[in-house]
C-alpha cells in the first residue's frame, strides 16, 4: 500500500541548517514534492524533484532523493524564523494522479 512517513517535529536555532526527512513505499511516482504550510494558510509548493534526479538545489533549499532507500530529504540552509511552518512531503501516484501526503513535520525556529 501507499505510505509516506515523516517525523512530526523539528526544532532548530536561527541560522542553523534544517533537515526534514521523508520515507515512502511507492517507487513508481514520477514526481516527489515538498509543500510548506504556514498557520492559517494553504499549502505552498516549495519545490519538487523528478524521480530520475538525485538532487535539486534552489537557493536555500536542497532536495536529496535516494531511490534505493526510498528516502527524500529537504535541507533548508540558514534557517530563519519565517521558515517556521509545517512541511509536507508528497508523491504523485501515477495512476489516477492522486497526491499522497506524509503526516507533516512541524519546524520550529528559535531566535
Partner 1 sequence: DTEVTQTPKHLVMGMTNKKSLKCEQHMGHRAMYWYKQKAKKPPELMFVYSYEKLSINESVPSRFSPECPNSSLLNLHLHALQPEDSALYLCASSQVYRGRAQPQHFGDGTRLSIL
Interface residue list for partner 1 (CB under 8 A): 30-31, 33, 35, 40-45, 48, 86, 88, 90, 92, 94, 96-99, 101-104, 106
Q: Shortest distance, CB of residue 15 to partner 1, whole angstroms?
A: 26
- Distance from C-alpha of 105 to C-alpha of 88, rounded to nearest angstrom: 7
Closest to partner 1 by CB, 4 or 109: 4
Closest to partner 1 by CB, 74 or 90: 90
What is the DSSP secondary structure assignment for residue 102, as one 8-state letter? -
- Distance from C-alpha of 28 to C-alpha of 91, rounded to nearest angstrom: 9
- Distance from C-alpha of 61 to C-alpha of 46, rounded to nearest angstrom: 9
Sign of CA dihedral 72, 105, 57, 43: positive
Q: Shortest distance, CB of residue 42 to partner 1, whole angstroms?
A: 4
Q: Shortest distance, CB of residue 5 to partner 1, whole angstroms?
A: 12
Closest to partner 1 by CB, 59 or 68: 59
Amino acid at each position: 500500500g501507499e505510505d509516506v512517513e515523516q517525523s512530526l517535529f523539528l526544532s532548530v536555532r536561527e541560522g542553523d541548517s534544517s533537515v526534514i526527512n521523508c520515507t515512502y513505499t511507492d517507487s513508481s511516482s514520477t514526481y516527489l514534492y515538498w509543500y510548506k504550510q504556514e498557520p492559517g494558510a494553504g499549502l505552498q509548493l516549495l519545490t519538487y524533484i523528478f524521480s530520475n534526479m538525485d538532487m535539486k538545489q534552489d537557493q536555500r533549499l536542497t532536495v536529496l532523493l535516494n531511490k534505493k532507500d526510498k528516502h527524500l530529504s529537504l535541507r533548508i540552509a540558514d534557517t530563519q524564523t519565517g521558515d517556521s511552518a509545517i512541511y509536507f512531503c508528497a508523491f504523485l501516484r501515477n495512476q489516477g494522479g492522486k497526491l499522497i501526503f506524509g503526516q507533516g513535520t512541524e519546524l520550529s525556529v528559535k531566535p
